[in-house]
Copies of this chain bind each other. A is one copy, B any other.
Amino acid sequence: MQFTSERLDDNVLEREFTLGEIPGTLWTPESAGPVPLVLMAHNNGLPKSDPRLVARARYTAARGYAVATIDAAGCGERPRSAADEQARTELRRAMRAGEPVDEIFESFIGPLVENAVPEWQTTLDAVLALPGIGGPVGYSGGWTALGIRLAVVEPRIKAAGFFAGGYVPRAQREEARQVAIPLLFLLQWDDEGNPRERALELFDAFGTKEKTLHANLGGHTGTPWFELEDGCRFLDRHLK
């Protein structure tokens, strides 16, 4: 793990790193003492430098967490094959047109999740080896399919917050029943890209005995600010 830049802003240390081919960012509070770790992902098409992700990460770090994110293979600003570019364009077009996207999801997002998981696990190993970071690990992110897969295969993850994930590949819809950790599931009631019925079905399917749904009025990017605070309080209950 190589740190390539660092800056301190408002008591949060922000460090860019590379781990082999994986580019990542780590945010930590300035205060001493071991802090729990949160893996934070969002929509695989957006880069880890996306302002909304960065704002969530900085807020969470200021609340006493180490927060790590990466651009996994084919995600964010990582290079993509021509076929992947085409699939992504087709997915966007179909969603905008309101056409069914299940088949594109299966053939495109499915492998992306499969390939992302080992890179996130490699990151988890490396970050947990750093001084001052330890204890239980949480997942918080808008990439629900990745979160489901990680929650199932990675026993170090003890709690997860998912955002507005109506659409996930079939494999993760089935794996949802195996998720056994506490869950906070965030839903935008009028999300253009994620049918409400699908999201409610997914919430219903999670196997865990401790799950909470928060739904708010508005579209995909309209999540109210207080959900950020609620999300941290959820993590506090399970990681601190």
Contacts and interface: CB of A to CB of B under 8 A. Distances in A.
Contacts of A237: 226
Contact of A214 (B209, B210, B212): B212
Given A226-B237, A230-B230, A237-B226, A211 B217 contact: yes
A216 B211 contact: yes
A208 to B, nearest CB: 8
8 contacts: A189-B204, A189-B213, A200-B200, A209-B217, A210-B217, A215-B215, A226-B233, A230-B230
Interface in A78-107: none
A53 to B, nearest CB: 23
A149 B223 CA distance: 28
Interface string A195-234: 0000010011000111111111100000010100010010
Residue in A189, A215, A237 whose Cβ sees the most chain B Cβ within 10 Å: A215
A202 to B, nearest CB: 13
A200 B201 CA distance: 13
A216 B184 CA distance: 10
A185 to B, nearest CB: 9
A43 to B, nearest CB: 23
A216 B226 contact: no
B212 A213 contact: no
A215 B217 contact: no
A25 B215 CA distance: 33
